[in-house]
Amino acid sequence: MEMPIPVSPSFSPGCAHILWTRDEHDLRRIVEDDVQAVICVVAPLPDWVVPLTLAVESGRLSIPRTVLPNHTRDEVEAWFAEFLPDGPVAPDVRDSLVDDILELTDRLAASAGVSRFRLRIFTEAPTEDCGFHVDTVAPGAPPWGLLRVYNGAGTSFVEPDNLGSAGDFHRYLDRRERLERDRRTALEAARTDDFERVAREIAELDAARSFLARPEEVFEAPAGSIVAFKHVDLRFQWTQDAGPMPWVHCSPMRGGRRLVVNVTSPEPMRPPHR
């Protein structure tokens, strides 16, 4: 049975919107000014995703949080050849995964005219460390990237027309980050009462979603989908008038181990080759 594609309630000409699709060619539409994100639901998933998922969820395939900050496609491929173990999964599964990740770099190269990439990869279970947020890129870099969560819980997000204002969101984000620092400090100092108090404050903040016009309206990009989404230039992260709000999203806060890959570029954007 095919997974239904949701219809964005905020879609209208000239208004920032999120595009749901089954056609991977539509991912290139992220370059359009009024497209905040493109969510490509891949169904059915390739056969190799099943043994990959079993290896990740069982812990046989374990990749610590790793950032390749400024690598060419060939350097990314060489890193996987050296550091991605082939014991936990069959060689053909490993090769399929690497090819799939390299295809993400190819998509970014085609849309932004770049040849160097910042790739983030990890396998781990969700935590409560990070709430709703936006991703940033280096100054002048292409303001979009690609995300693929291969298994487990998907990424939560909100529609552009559900956001109250940039100011509301920044106030939420600033308080969330301060509370998270307080929670880590209490944990490191073994102050149990303070830790539990701050944890309750974080839970209340996340539940209230005060930056949303419709706090209960949250969507999910399902695991296995490919998401192209708008980021924000690091210089303008906290400004009120830096243009359309980038994709506001949140990783799941509980569930099993997931494999997550995110690709952006650290270099200035150039017109793509024709």
Burial class (CB in 10 A: 0-12, 13-18, 19+), 24: middle
Alpha-helical (H) ranges within the chain are: 49-58, 73-83, 91-112, 166-188, 192-208
Q: Do both 201 and 230 map to the same domain?
A: no
Q: Do both 70 and 177 map to the same domain?
A: no
Residue 274 has what pLDDT?
A: 47
Residue 7 has what pLDDT?
A: 37
Residue 272 has what pLDDT?
A: 54
Q: Do both 78 and 169 map to the same domain?
A: no
Of 211, 231, 246, the position where a domain reaches its end is: 211
| Residue 110 within a domain | yes
| Residue 189 within a domain | yes
Q: Do both 221 and 124 map to the same domain?
A: yes
Q: Do both 134 and 259 map to the same domain?
A: yes
Residue 42 has what pLDDT?
A: 95
Q: Do both 51 and 145 map to the same domain?
A: yes
Residue 240 has what pLDDT?
A: 61
Q: Do both 197 and 241 map to the same domain?
A: no
d(CA 110, CA 128): 35
Angle between helices 91-112 and 73-83 (to 10 degrees): 160
72's enclosing H/E stretch is strand 66-72
Find out whether the peptide bond into 13 is cis, omega within 30 degrees of 0.
no
| Residue 272 within a domain | no
Residue 12 has what pLDDT?
A: 34
Angle between helices 192-208 and 166-188 (to 10 degrees): 160
Sign of CA dihedral 23, 136, 132, 263: positive
Q: Do both 176 and 73 map to the same domain?
A: no
Q: Which residues of the chain have pLDDT under 70?
A: 1-15, 240-244, 271-274
Q: Do both 69 and 152 map to the same domain?
A: yes
Q: Do both 117 and 168 map to the same domain?
A: no
| Residue 5 within a domain | no
CATH number of the domain where residue 77 is located: 2.60.120
Cβ-contact 172, 139 below 8 angstroms: no
Written in H, E and C, the secondary structure of 116-149 is EEEEEEEEECCCCCCCCECCEECCCCCCEEEEEE
| 20, 25, 172, 246 from 15: Cα distances, Å | 15, 22, 24, 13
Largest distance between two CA atoms of the chain = 60
d(CA 120, CA 151): 16
Tokens matching residue 177: 């980050």
| Residue 87 within a domain | yes
Cα dihedral value 66, 82, 151, 95, nearest 10: 150
Residue 270 has what pLDDT?
A: 74
Residue 241 has what pLDDT?
A: 54
Residue 4 has what pLDDT?
A: 45
| Residue 32 within a domain | yes
Cβ-contact 267, 109 below 8 angstroms: no
- At residue 59's C-alpha, the angle toward residues 190 and 157, to 5°, is 75
Q: Do both 177 and 244 map to the same domain?
A: no
| Residue 190 within a domain | yes
Tokens matching residue 187: 């944990």
| Residue 274 within a domain | no
Q: Do both 111 and 94 map to the same domain?
A: yes
Containing structural domain, residue 177: 164-211
Q: Phi and psi for 71 in degrees, rounded to 5?
A: -125, 145
Cβ-contact 123, 60 below 8 angstroms: no
Quote the pTM value: 0.90
Domains identified in the chain, total number: 2
